[in-house]
């Protein structure tokens, strides 16, 4: 991740602001405000603004006149209760805003979370930076043979090198031709004074999907957790998980009580179906249970056993 | 509007907070933060928290690294442009949270705006305050004869008095019976030690629709303006307009540039249909135009003439 | 539930329609289309329209050119997989529309599900029917002593009778005064020719919360299941559960494969927290586990044991 | 646009379905159901399903027991009234589902309309078709010099040819390398038996943004009109307008009364600001008005004059 001198100065200017407010503040989050935290080779996550803290959840759940907090212990109990029983609206009372730089093919996954507010850098209006994502060798995985949308083993060195070569060359070539069509370099300089440039809204179609874009992305705490639950999960694509992991850390700084409940009930928890419950009961009671009398498919059986770390029962 | 001593203290405690933050702040809004601004006879509007200011709109529209503001004049130009051309997403980047006390029949109108976050005081869980809305005499209007969902003339004194009497007596009686069924007074004291109380979730059904409820209500700036455009409008029911007018003032304090554009392009503006445009053109050119060759219904014709204050053309 | 002759005729007229379509149809659901299925004393649920069936979920999940169905068995497997792994968007591809008549205090709970489309009968515009909900004796429960938002034992006969009397009298009296203020009976006849009527938008505030209202309510299948999961649950208020149970039956008729997966994975299933997983593992392995070393609160412990029907472990 | 034999057969199979239903049907729309209507060089628009018709809007606005229609003339009056006064919820009671094939850079614009349901063909799971958008010569426009996000004159023949050459070569080369990395051709055949293929979720990043994707896209009538209002507008990018125009035609077939009101009040209409209203009034009254005393910027002045086709007043 490289920032221009001007960008670094703009970030510093914001970080040295000292404003007074009657609103609740979160020093742990303030300490990283505006900072560009690197993600992948050229991306970043920046926290730009936030509203509320753990006490705000309690405050609105109680519809109280003052601050939510009575005492930390009872606040914590209430937040856990709300999380456990899917009383979700109080979590909507906190809000956070990020500035994110990310590859377009990841942006396309990300945008499927529709409940956020988004302003993306416009390639109709401006020229995109000359930056594209190239995976490190250990992230160049082969197609999984068991999971149609997953990754398998890492490619061997030779093939990895070939793949990287192809990705790099194609991205550079298509970007160069993007500039040629625009008749303009990414720094704004004109290439040939005697030529017109193709409209930006057209030229952009020549870029590859690993080109970086950026956006402001704002969401409430509930929908942030919905996003993180899916995208910080081990089944999520590695490239989006890198961003989700950084955001998980900002969650911890921002609302530590909620973070703990989230990790316990959502991220670390599991769901058990009606049929699965019967099997677990039988296992606890020491009764005989096997896949044939379980009503589960093999896949489901294994998912259940893995959820409870019962590896000896995998089939 | 009456607040208990404890509520007043809770509000004061929040108002005397002095926190430091790197976030943007709005002193004009901070000066009324947490204050209970009276609405109708027992209601209020309180601003609890906010995120962003005018510069945040510019910042996200430009997806910039620093603050949005280059200079106020160019920010103002951009905000007006965004408003005029319905580029709505940058306005979603600001957020505000209110604590509102309002009659239930108004809450039922209000909640139809689905894009906000809401936590309402639960009458399943708690006992509602003994407060109900009684209109002032000048707001006791007869049914409009021309508009099925509007108001006509004010009732004469005698009838107004009768109506108020009925409203008052029924609200008090149903509230008293609510307490009787709960076997509990609104202050929490038990009425008859030898009796059980009906479940709160059932007893509440006996209350009249002018009983006050309260909620935390949080929305982004775009949806706040959508709400205000409809509810601060002269066609809105008076009782919700009272709240909208107070919130319009908070809008002015919070984002003055946006407020100005909003008043010019939305609240003070009008829409003209394709057929209407032809009529306006002809009027400007001094051509003959009348309802018969206009293609408009009488109602539509009059709406158009009123929009441009052409009262001599009403029919 | 009483319908007027005209309403019965209107329903019959729709039910005898015989249209041809190339769209997918669901005969099991068509057979109850438009029928007013009674709910509580005066309410009903009517299915007005629907879009899609089980095969539509498969079709859109596969983004296929033809019908979704390859064969029922593989469709069923895919739908179960989607449900289990929270791949929710294909379930949004089916849509259903209801006409519901329900008490206002239940409508206020219901409307908190924001993702549906709603048109409610307007009491600003029209006069509400003279119908209010009165619970049967076995539903007149006392406030629960253990759960602040639940019900406990049923009231004894004498107190139940008193409560019903109060509810009935207050609803009738406030409705009569509603008519008096409107200067109009519910059948539209004027009461006193020499008087004006109070505006409908004001008079309605005198009605009690058990008065019936009605609305058209349309939602996609995913959000219908979200609604049913919460409202057909044993913790939901009885009065909304009555409606949810009827709708659960329409779900079964409409999309039987999805219904089965929904009952298995959502309604009949349970969630286990990270801490809970460890306890279940230990129980299965026969290790010693008790609340003291569990990290759970007493409430949480009991919820976990109940979820797996381990009543001997309740404390 | 080319369809495989199997796809053509699947479409025909659906079109020859003859189902009976009691639901409202729209023969005009049924006649094009499932048909792939070509858009751009390889894209298409297909209507897959729909719910409701013009009468459904009236039905839900009236919360009626029977069909909405009393008589066409009064239905039409009501629909126009609803459209004019932004009573938007009744329009949400109709729903439509499309299958769309479109270039990725257009899909990225399209998805910004968040209120629709979407299932996109997954390039994590499957291999994308070898199809990319190449503009025709007359659509190869230069960057506009006056509007940063618009198009200016068409490129001259020589430059157009160069641009097309670059677009074509880059798309083919990146697609070929996509296959090389996958170690698989788009028809599924393996390239080199001794090699692994790169995971599909990674290989896709090498594709250019003019590659075609496809999705199922479902929305209610209100949000369809919001989409069309922006995307069938002359300021929208040509490539998305092509799709919007086709969908505008499906709107006309589906709900002809609503379509007419939509064209009159939204598409063909205009908005006038508070300041603009004063200017129009003065123009009608023959008073002197010019930009200096108007309070408008030059840009705003010209937008106003153009809206009313007053070309002699442009400055």
Per-residue pLDDT for chain A (315 aa), expressed as one digit of tens each? 889 999 999 999 999 999 999 999 999 999 999 999 999 999 999 999 999 999 999 999 999 888 766 666 788 999 999 999 999 999 999 999 999 999 999 999 999 999 999 999 999 989 999 999 999 999 999 998 887 778 999 999 999 999 999 999 999 999 999 999 999 998 889 999 999 999 999 999 999 999 999 999 999 999 999 999 999 998 899 999 999 999 999 999 999 999 999 999 999 999 999 999 999 999 999 998 889 888 899 989 999 999 999 999 998
Nearest to C274 among A112, A268, A280 (CB): A268
Q: Using the beta-carbon criterion (under 8 Å), do B199 and C124 form an inter-chain contact?
A: no
Touching check for C237 and chain B: CB below 8 Å? Answer: yes
Q: What is the pLDDT of residues A48-103, one digit of tens each?
A: 999 999 999 999 999 988 876 666 678 899 999 999 999 999 999 999 999 999 99
Nearest to A272 among C112, C272, C297 (CB): C272
Secondary-structure percent of chain A, ordered helix, strand, coil, rounded to 5: 50, 15, 35
Q: How many helices (H) and strands (E) does chain C have?
A: 12, 9
Residues of A in contact with B18 (CB under 8 A): 20, 22
Q: Maximum distance among all alpha carbons in chain C?
A: 84
Partners of B198 in beta bridges: C142
Q: Catalytic residue, from C231, C241, C253, C266: name it.
A: C231
Q: Catalytic residue, from D231, D241, D253, D299: name it.
A: D231
What confidence score (pLDDT) does residue D261 get? 97
What confidence score (pLDDT) does residue D216 get? 97
Q: Could you tell me which of A272, A267, A269 has the C-alpha nearest to residue A231?
A: A267
Neighbours, chain B (3 or more CB pairs < 8 A): A, C, D
| pLDDT above 70 coverage of chain B, percent | 98
What confidence score (pLDDT) does residue D188 get? 84
Instruction: Give catalytic residues of B, as residue numbers.
Output: 231
What confidence score (pLDDT) does residue C149 get? 78
Residue B148 has pLDDT above 90, yes or no: no
| DSSP tag of A134 | -
Q: Using the beta-carbon criterion (under 8 Å), do D33 and C24 form an inter-chain contact?
A: no
Partners of A214 in beta bridges: A101
Touching check for A200 and chain D: CB below 8 Å? Answer: yes
> Dihedral, CA atoms, A242, A245, A247, A251, nearest 10 degrees?
180
Which pair of structure tokens corresponds to residue A299? 């896949």
Nearest to D140 among A140, A153, A198 (CB): A198
Q: CA geometry: angle at D133 spanning D130 and D136, to 5°?
A: 140
Element (H, E) at C159: helix C157-182
Residue C129 has pLDDT above 70, yes or no: yes
What confidence score (pLDDT) does residue B246 get? 98
φ and ψ at A11, to 5 degrees?
Answer: -65, -45
Residues of B in contact with C171 (CB under 8 A): 206
Q: Using the beta-carbon criterion (under 8 Å), do C265 and A271 form an inter-chain contact?
A: yes
Please give the C-alpha separations between residue A17 and each of A30, B33, B61, in angstroms, as whole numbers.
Answer: 11, 21, 22
The SS3 call for residue B100 is: strand
Residue of A nearest to D173 (CA): A170
CA distance A184 to B223: 39
On the 0-12 / 13-18 / 19+ scale of CB atoms within 10 A, B194 is: exposed
CA distance D101 to D214: 4
User: Which residue's entry shows tokens 């998305």?
Assistant: D240
Residue of D nearest to C8 (CA): D65
Task: Please give the average per-residue pLDDT across B180-184, as a whole number.
Answer: 96
Element (H, E) at C19: strand C19-21
The answer to which of C67-71, C126-130, D192-196 has the lowest mean pLDDT is C67-71
For chain C, the distance separating the N- and C-terminal CA atoms, rounded to the nearest angstrom, is: 45
Residue B186 contacts by C-beta under 8 Å, 6 or more apart in sequence? B127, B128, B129, B130, B179
- Interface confidence (ipTM) of the complex: 0.95
The SS3 call for residue D227 is: helix
Number of Cβ pairs < 8 A linking chain B and chain D: 83
Task: Please give the average per-residue pLDDT across B169-194, as a whole number.
Answer: 94
Residue B150 has pLDDT above 80, yes or no: yes
Nearest to B205 among C118, C177, C210 (CB): C210
Q: Using the beta-carbon criterion (under 8 Å), do D264 and B274 form an inter-chain contact?
A: yes
CB A25 within 8 A of CB B21: yes
CA distance A68 to A76: 11
C151 is catalytic: no
Backbone CA torsion sign across B33, B39, B42, B45: negative
| pLDDT above 90 coverage of chain C, percent | 85
Touching check for C137 and chain B: CB below 8 Å? Answer: no
Nearest to C51 among D51, D59, D67 (CB): D51
| Range D111-135 burial, b when 16+ CB lie within 10 A, else e | bebeebbbbbbbbbeebbbbbbbbb
Residues of D in contact with B80 (CB under 8 A): 300
Q: What is the pLDDT of residues C200-239, one digit of tens each?
A: 999 999 999 999 999 999 999 999 999 999 999 988 999 9
> Dihedral, CA atoms, B27, B29, B33, B39, nearest 10 degrees?
150
Own/partner contacts of D150-155, CB < 8 Å, gap of 24 or more, are D150/A199, D150/A201, D150/D235, D151/A199, D151/A201, D151/A202, D151/D238, D152/A196, D152/A199, D153/A196, D155/A196, D155/A198
What confidence score (pLDDT) does residue C118 get? 97
CA distance B268 to D80: 23
Q: Using the beta-carbon criterion (under 8 Å), do B208 and C210 form an inter-chain contact?
A: no
Q: Using the beta-carbon criterion (under 8 Å), do A272 and C273 form an inter-chain contact?
A: no
Q: What is the length of chain B?
A: 315
Q: CA geometry: angle at B284 spanning B283 and B287, to 5°?
A: 50
CA distance B20 to C14: 65
Q: Which residues of chain D have pLDDT under 50?
A: none
Touching check for D192 and chain A: CB below 8 Å? Answer: no
Q: What is the pLDDT of residues B14-72, one digit of tens each?
A: 999 999 999 999 999 999 999 999 999 999 999 999 999 999 999 999 998 887 666 66
Residue of A nearest to B9 (CA): A66
CA distance C54 to C93: 10
Q: Nearest C-alpha of chain D: how many angstroms from A78?
A: 33
Touching check for D70 and chain C: CB below 8 Å? Answer: no
Neighbours, chain C (3 or more CB pairs < 8 A): A, B, D
Residues of A in contact with D112 (CB under 8 A): 111, 118
Q: DSSP E strands: which ranges in chain D?
A: 19-21, 37-39, 43-51, 95-103, 117-120, 141-143, 151-154, 212-220, 270-272
Q: Using the beta-carbon criterion (under 8 Å), do B216 and A52 form an inter-chain contact?
A: no
Residue B156 contacts by C-beta under 8 Å, 6 or more apart in sequence? none
Element (H, E) at C47: strand C43-51
Touching check for A218 and chain B: CB below 8 Å? Answer: yes
What confidence score (pLDDT) does residue A69 get? 61
CA distance D222 to D227: 9
Backbone CA torsion sign across D107, D112, D115, D120: positive
């Amino acid at each position: 991740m490289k920032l221009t001198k001007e960008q670094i100065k703009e970030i510093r200017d914001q970080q040295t602001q000292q404003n007074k407010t009657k609103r609740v503040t979160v020093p742990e989050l303030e300490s990283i405000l505006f900072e560009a935290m690197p993600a992948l080779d050229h991306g970043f996550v920046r926290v730009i603004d936030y509203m509320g803290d753990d006490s705000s959840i309690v405050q609105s759940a109680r519809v109280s006149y003052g601050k939510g907090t009575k005492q930390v212990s009872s606040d914590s109990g209430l937040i856990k209760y709300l999380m456990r029983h899917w009383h979700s609206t109080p979590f909507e009372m906190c809000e956070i805003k990020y500035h994110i730089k990310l590859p377009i093919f990841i942006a396309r996954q990300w945008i499927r979370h529709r409940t956020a507010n988004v302003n993306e850098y416009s390639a109709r209006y401006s020229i995109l930076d000359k930056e594209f994502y190239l995976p490190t060798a250990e992230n160049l995985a082969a197609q999984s043979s068991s999971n149609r949308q997953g990754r398998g083993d890492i490619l061997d060195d030779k093939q990895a090198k070939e793949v990287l070569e192809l990705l790099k060359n194609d991205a550079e070539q298509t970007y160069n031709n993007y500039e040629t069509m625009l008749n303009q370099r990414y720094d704004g300089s004109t290439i040939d004074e005697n030529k017109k440039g193709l409209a930006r809204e057209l030229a952009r179609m020549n870029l590859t999907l690993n080109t970086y874009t950026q956006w402001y992305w704002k969401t409430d705490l509930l929908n942030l957790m919905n996003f993180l639950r899916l995208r910080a999960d081990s089944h999520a694509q590695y490239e989006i998980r890198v961003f989700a992991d950084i955001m998980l850390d900002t969650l911890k700084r921002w609302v530590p009580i909620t973070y703990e409940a989230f990790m316990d009930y959502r991220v670390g928890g599991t769901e058990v179906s009606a049929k699965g419950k019967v099997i677990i009961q039988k296992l606890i009671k020491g009764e005989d249970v096997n896949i044939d009398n379980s009503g589960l498919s093999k896949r489901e059986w294994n998912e259940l056993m893995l959820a409870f770390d019962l590896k000896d029962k995998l089939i």
